[in-house]
Amino acid sequence: MSAALISRWARRYVLVAVCWLVLWQVGLLVGVPPRTEVVLGLYGFVLHVVFGKAYSLVPTYFDRPLADPRVAALQLPLTTIGVACLAVEPIAGVPEAVGLVGGLSWVAGVSLFVGALVWTIRDNPSGAETGTGGANVHRAGVDRVANAFVPVALAYLLFGSYETLALSGVVPSVFDGYPPRATHLLGAGTATLLVFALGFRLLPRFLVAEPPRSLVLVVLPAGAIGPLLLAASLPAGSLFAVAGAIEALAVVGYAVGFCVLFRRSDRRRVAFYGVLAGAVGGVAAVLIGLWLAVGGLDPGLVDAHRRLTLLGFLGLTVVGVSLQFYPPSVGRWPGCTDRTALLAIGLLAAAAAMQAVGLALSTPPIERVGAVVGLAGATVYGYLLVAAFATRR
């Protein structure tokens, strides 16, 4: 019963996340503030998919049952309200109290999420017990290494959420209240590190291939250290350049690792092309970020970096993995095929590229066309997932 309950709530989290993805692309068309874009794309879309899947994946990977599956039902309304309030607060005319409500609601929901997972793995905090056996027993070493970084990602989630609440002034900031610090703690520290840690467990099984162990041992420590250094050193300075280099090493290493997996595998499921596109987007994002760290901030490149990170890297990776969990062929509605899924991936990849180019070159028409394409891709992707969920009801 608990497994069925977790699976049902995971689908609900993903469905809510898709709604935020669509609203994000609509927001780009109407011209929302950058902070609103970050909240919709990162807090709303990416992290809600992370929440939904982590409730099932993390306990399984730590060889423990989820302490209390009912926590998922309690968290979802809190983080949803949090995203809604945090997204509208930067818009002109919205009272600052809305941001306070959003921060408190978000922190409450995140605290439930982290508390449930920490209590679940309390007697196996390093993940030494992986539940790996049978045909996968040769993967136990990599699994143990990957598990060890999941608690680090959860710590980043708490830290980034605290800094989000600090933006409202209700609690003191550890830093100085500069919003990109919270963004990097959550985006690089939580979402990206979980892509690495869970990805090095999931993706080899999906593709039935092995990543280079040396890359795993480089990517995970770099991915754990980089976000903290980035958050502490933004927006300039020698430490910022070092932090950018470390994070770039992690993302490029992950991308190379996935490309090796993809080449070694004889499986060519459509979902893998989404993850592949995400890896390419991640490399482009960190190269721009490294340029900014070394050469100084340029507003257009900052915007391009943000769009490539949120949509090109994290967004496409989430899309690819979710299509693997919920294959398009499961849906019984018209058009639920791999070809339609490939269309959604292609539209979102093209959107990320056009939006980034338009922003980097200060060419609004290109960026606007990219937003239209992004909305089309998000709609097609959402259609496929809703169809799959309706079938599994």
Q: How much is the pLDDT for 1?
A: 45
Q: How much is the pLDDT for 134?
A: 81
Q: Is residue 85 domain-resident? A: yes
Q: Is residue 33 domain-resident? A: yes
In the predicted model, what is the mean pLDDT of residues 174-193? 96
Q: Is residue 80 domain-resident? A: yes
| 199 has pLDDT over 60 | yes
* Residue 99 structural domain: 1-61+65-120
What is the tally of structural domains in the chain?
Answer: 1
Q: What are the tens digits of pLDDT across the range 317-335?
A: 999 999 999 999 888 899 9
In the predicted model, what is the mean pLDDT of residues 205-219? 92
With CA atoms as reference, report the closest residue to 367 among 386, 385, 382, 354.
354
| Amino acid, single-letter form, for residue 368 | R
Residue 364: burial class (beta carbons within 10 Å; 0-12, 13-18, 19+): exposed
Taking the C-alpha atoms of residue 291 and residue 112, their distance in angstroms, rounded to an integer, is: 38
Q: How much is the pLDDT for 236?
A: 87
Q: What are the tens digits of pLDDT across the range 70-111?
A: 999 999 999 999 999 999 999 999 999 999 999 999 999 999
Q: Is residue 5 domain-resident? A: yes
Q: Is residue 336 domain-resident? A: no
Lowest mean pLDDT among 101-110, 130-139, 195-204, 251-260: 130-139
Q: Is residue 159 domain-resident? A: no
Please, what sign has the CA dihedral across residues 299, 303, 309, 310?
positive
Q: Is residue 320 domain-resident? A: no
Q: Is residue 207 domain-resident? A: no
**Between helices 238-264 and 270-295, what is the axis angle to 10°?**
160
